[in-house]
Amino acid sequence: MPDTDTNPQESTPRDRAFYGLIWACTTLTAQADAALTRTHDLPLTWFEVMLWLHTQNEPMAASDLGAKALLSRSQVSRVIDSLQARGLVERTPSPHDARSVQITLTPAGRTAFAEANATRRAALAEVFDDLLDDEDITALQTVWNKLKRDAPC
């Protein structure tokens, strides 16, 4: 990671930790996005929506999906439109709210997600999995859990 501080005396360990998170997010996101787009014509944003759907046992409201994936209403709508056009998700009317729709992965979507997830793992193996041992992963999980505990979203 390049040193972005002009004056190292003013940089605290917390600053460097934050900059490290930014660097890791940017680097790993770009690498995963490139591999998913190249191999499956599936941008990382689409993959993330599919990931949230994959983790659910029930269909998910489009608004909840957008909140989980940190996408605006129009962004999540465009992603769902694209995934639906490829037969990877389906929309169904909400049984609880006539103005709302629920989204679920189709069987083809589950297969596409599994294939894309394998590609993501392979793309990140050299720059993430192969560099971190089990203690590192446990430490990262502890950090993420602390950061997510009081997160507003």
Q: What length does the chain have?
A: 153
pLDDT of residue 87: 98
d(CA 113, CA 95): 26
Give, for all 153 residues of the chain, the pLDDT tens digit: 555 555 556 789 999 999 999 999 999 999 999 999 999 999 999 999 999 999 998 999 988 888 888 888 889 999 999 999 999 999 998 888 878 889 999 999 999 999 999 999 999 999 999 999 999 999 999 999 998 887 765
pLDDT of residue 10: 77
Place of tokens 């690498």: 31
pLDDT of residue 153: 58
pLDDT of residue 28: 95
d(CA 127, CA 1): 13
Per DSSP, the three-state class of 145 is helix
In terms of Cα–Cα distance, which of 100, 109, 105, 92 is closest to 63?
100
Write phi, then psi, for 126 (nearest 5 degrees): -70, -30
d(CA 43, CA 33): 6
pLDDT of residue 148: 85
